[in-house]
A = this chain, B = another copy of it.
Amino acid sequence: MMKTLSLTQIENILENLDPIPAIEQGFVEYSKGKCNIPPIGELLMDKGDVHIKYGCITGEDYYVIKIASGFYDNNKIGLPNSNGLMLLFSQNTGELICTLHDQCLLTDIRTAIAGAITAKYMAPKNISAIGIVGTGVQARMQAEYLKSVTPCRDIVVWGRDPEKLVNYRNDMRQSGFKVTATMDMDELCASANLIVTTTPAEQPLIKADQIRPGTHITAMGSDTPNKKELDVNILALADVVACDSKEQCYIRGEICHAIKAGVIDMANTLELGNIIDGQKGRINDQQITVADLTGVAVQDIKIAEAVYLASLG
């Protein structure tokens, strides 16, 4: 009855699985208020911390508990800093159905998929170039998952560290992209009309006057009350401001800073699930749109379920 999936097994399953439709569906159900997602559990220890995210979609088959840890000296001893697993249980009997030892891979993927879904529903029709801000794991994965929603294979990547920029360029070229690396944000904003910010910055990296009409920005790096990647005035001038979860964005991400600065009102924002479900987001290719992604547990629920169901063959 109970199944265990190793990281390798999960990687193999993902080769023939597109979790985007399931996660889109999850965002819709989330925005309809069908999700039961308690506050995140947190255990802070001397050498690291662990977060427990859990919940379910009311009346569906499964509930999911995700355990994710960060131990920031692990790299020094050859271990990954981030670690984690997901547990899928029956919502009918409470039985453990599947343990997914994904070591955070599914979190990385569901995060990248949220970016792809956002671009699918909010980006302008023709993407001139994809602007990637940052050079880390999500800077790579966001671009990978955008492949399924745009034919554009031109990346302008911005970073502060030339070595990391070179590594990024080399990696993404191998993955089929044409990559321009820059340390000048003006250059990125001038050529990209789909920008994805993926950094843990605590001071804005992009200014309002750098943004051209017809640009969409997905800000996914900021997920705490302190982080922010965008000048609040970008949100003020945007025609559409969306987010994954209004409830979360009151206290973390980009939107909370803009609300605190008094330049936008939560009542004028949309949830991604609303837009997927048919509410109007972008209405022409001259509008500026912004999406603030902080990550919601329904993404974990949906990707764990999709991988488990695919494992049944």
Given the complex of chains A and B, what is the CA–CA distance between A44 and B48 in angstroms?
A: 29
Closest 9 CB pairs of A and B: A69-B94, A71-B94, A41-B41, A83-B94, A48-B94, A71-B93, A45-B91, A74-B93, A79-B93
- Stretch of A55-63, A138-146, A162-170, A216-224 that contacts chain B: A55-63
Residues of B within 8 A of A47 (CB): 91-93
Given the complex of chains A and B, what is the CA–CA distance between A36 and B46 in angstroms?
A: 11
Q: Considering only CB atoms, which chain B residue lies closest to A74 in the complex?
A: B93
By the criterion CB–CB under 8 Å, are B45 and A63 in contact? yes
Question: Chain A, interface size: which category?
Answer: 35 or more
Give chain A interface residues in 85-104, CB to chain B under 8 Å: 85, 87, 89, 91-96, 99, 101
By the criterion CB–CB under 8 Å, are A41 and B52 in contact? yes
| 19 A–B contacts, CB within 8 A, in A order | A4-B4, A36-B43, A36-B45, A41-B52, A41-B54, A43-B54, A43-B55, A46-B59, A47-B91, A48-B93, A50-B54, A52-B54, A71-B94, A74-B93, A74-B94, A79-B93, A79-B95, A83-B93, A96-B101
User: Would A56 and B45 be within 8 Å (CB), given that A74-B93, A96-B85 are in contact?
Assistant: yes
Q: How many copies does the complex hold?
A: 2
Residues of B within 8 A of A79 (CB): 93, 95
